Amino acid sequence: MGTASLGELAVRFGCTLQGDPDVRVAHVATLERADPQGLAFLANPRYRRFLSQTKAGAVVLDAQSASECPVAALIAKDPYAVYARIASLLHPPPPAIPGKHPSAIVDSSAVVDPSAAIGALAVIGARVRIGARSSVGPGCVLLDDVSIGADTRLVANVTLCNSVVVGDRCLLHPGVVIGADGFGLAPSEGQWLKIPQVGGVRIGNDVEVGASTTIDRGAIEDTVIGDGVKLDNQIQIGHNVRIGAHTAIAGCSGISGSTTIGSRCMLAGMVGVAGHLTICDDVVVTGRSFVNSNIRKPGYYSGGITIDETTRFRKNAARFHRLDELAREVRRLSGSAEGRDDKSQDDPDDE
């Protein structure tokens, strides 16, 4: 953790400075609880009420809010992005301390860059390659033929199965499992035959994978995660899924096998996507949605039914289970009220 002067920060990140350029900030803070060494930000209007009372050393905000700021202000068009950059400067990730912990088990055929760090009780299999300045934390297991690029960090207890390829500047959190077998089964006489899963997994550059997220290896060809993809915790990615660059997926979502998701998509939490589908670029799917057909048009899609008080919800849900009947009754009433209309072409009564 370093400190930085506001003058330095304004120049480096292209902000307009309102206040003393020699003030120094040391860490990030919330508007509400910042001390004078704290750098706060205002991006979400919900927190504006804390601005006038803040004790922060400086606040990153947009031009409209600057006049209300009681302390120094770093004025930016996109305060959240500027905050992200300053926060990364003040709070850099811990540097990898080059070298292998004596308790790690590293196969003699592994090629580990001398600037990389291998933590306590990590296991590095045969022919594994680990790039410059990368860090494999305590308890990680890398099976044979894994390859990791430069500046990538596996925090702890990450498992990479054989032949998994991870790019540069990735961040893999504890409990991540990449390259386990996909769920490939053929039914035969009332039992299941296993389909060997001989494809791999390729993770691009600048990918973050959250705690306990699992990414299965391909059945024949590879599962592919594009550059800049961000995956939250507890996500399941099936075999042969392909995810385009800079797509972000929130926690507890699941993507079934052989589905392709485009670039710059955003899937909120607990979204489920069925298998063998295609979702185009620039699609946003809101929380708790179930995607069971291709999405060919960028835009917003939803599917989550929200809660109600239990008694009221149950009444409505009971009606849902007789909705077809209700619709037929309405159709009948329409007919008797006005004489039978010609049926429209997409009439669900025809189904």
Which residues are marked as active site?
Answer: 239
Contact 291/279 with Cβ under 8 angstroms?
A: yes
Q: What minimum distance in Å lies between the beta carbon of 122 and a copy of itself? A: 9
Per CB under 8 A, does 174 bind a copy of itself?
yes
Given 67, 293, 339, 345, the residue binding a copy of itself (CB under 8 A): 293
Given 12, 276, 340, 343, the residue binding a copy of itself (CB under 8 A): 276
Per CB under 8 A, does 323 bind a copy of itself?
yes
Given 33, 48, 49, 340, the residue binding a copy of itself (CB under 8 A): 33
Measured distance CA(3)–CA(9) in Å, rounded: 10
Per CB under 8 A, does 193 bind a copy of itself?
yes
Per CB under 8 A, does 53 bind a copy of itself?
no
Amino acid at 168: D
Q: What minimum distance in Å lies between the beta carbon of 100 and a copy of itself? A: 13
Nearer to a copy of itself, 20 or 208 (CB): 208
Please say whether the dihedral angle defined by the alpha carbons of residues 30, 35, 39 and 43, taken in this order, is positive or negative: positive
Nearer to a copy of itself, 21 or 35 (CB): 35
Per CB under 8 A, does 226 bind a copy of itself?
no
Given 8, 270, 278, 280, the residue binding a copy of itself (CB under 8 A): 270
User: Where do we find the tokens 């330095």?
Assistant: 8
Given 63, 111, 126, 220, the residue binding a copy of itself (CB under 8 A): 220
The tokens of 334 are what? Answer: 């329409």
Q: Residue length, the chain?
A: 351
Per CB under 8 A, does 224 bind a copy of itself?
no
Query: Near a copy of itself by CB under 8 A, which window of 3-11, 16-24, 50-58, 115-123?
Result: 115-123
Per CB under 8 A, does 339 bind a copy of itself?
no
Q: What minimum distance in Å lies between the beta carbon of 265 and a copy of itself? A: 12
Measured distance CA(153)–CA(162) in Å, rounded: 18
Instruction: Give, as ranges, the residues between 120 and 149 that touch a copy of itself (CB under 8 A).
Output: 120-121, 123, 125, 137-139, 141, 143
User: Where do we find the tokens 């209700």?
Assistant: 326
Which one-letter DSSP state was computed for residue 96?
P
- What stretch of H or E contains 315? helix 310-320
Q: Under 8 Å CB-to-CB from 344, ≥6 apart: which residues?
A: none
Given 84, 132, 150, 280, the residue binding a copy of itself (CB under 8 A): 84
Query: Near a copy of itself by CB under 8 A, which window of 4-12, 14-22, 67-75, 286-294?
Result: 286-294
Please say whether the dihedral angle defined by the alpha carbons of residues 235, 158, 225 and 78, taken in this order, is positive or negative: positive
Q: What is the DSSP code string of 150-210? A: SS-EE-SS-EE-TT-EE-SS-EE-TT-EEEEPP--EEEETTEEEE------EEE-SS-EE-
Per CB under 8 A, does 97 bind a copy of itself?
no
What is the CB neighbour count within 10 angstroms for residue 96? 21
Given 11, 63, 81, 126, the residue binding a copy of itself (CB under 8 A): 81
Given 188, 296, 339, 342, the residue binding a copy of itself (CB under 8 A): 188
Q: Under 8 Å CB-to-CB from 39, ≥6 apart: which residues?
A: 25, 27, 28, 29, 56, 57, 58, 59, 60, 83, 86, 87, 90
Per CB under 8 A, does 108 bind a copy of itself?
no
User: Where do we find the tokens 């997926």?
Assistant: 249
